[in-house]
Amino acid sequence: MSDIMIAFILGIIEGLAEFSSISSTGHLIY
C-alpha cells in the first residue's frame, strides 16, 4: 500500500471516530 492510501484510510477511521463521539455527546450540547 502507498503512503497516500494509508493516510486516506487513517483519515476515514479518525473521521468516523470523531463523528461517532460527536453524535453520542452532541445530543447533550445541541
pLDDT tens for 1-30 read: 799 999 999 999 988 888 777 666 666 655
pLDDT at 10: 94
Question: For residue 12, what are the domain limits?
Answer: 1-30
pLDDT at 9: 95
pLDDT at 16: 83
pLDDT at 25: 63
- Closest listed residue to residue 18, CA positions, set 28, 6, 26: 26
pLDDT at 12: 92
Residue whose C-alpha cell is 463521539: 21
Phi, psi values for residue 9, rounded to 5° = -65, -45
C-alpha–C-alpha distance, residues 25 and 18, integer Å: 11
Chain-centre distance for alpha carbon 8: 11
Total count of domains within the chain? 1
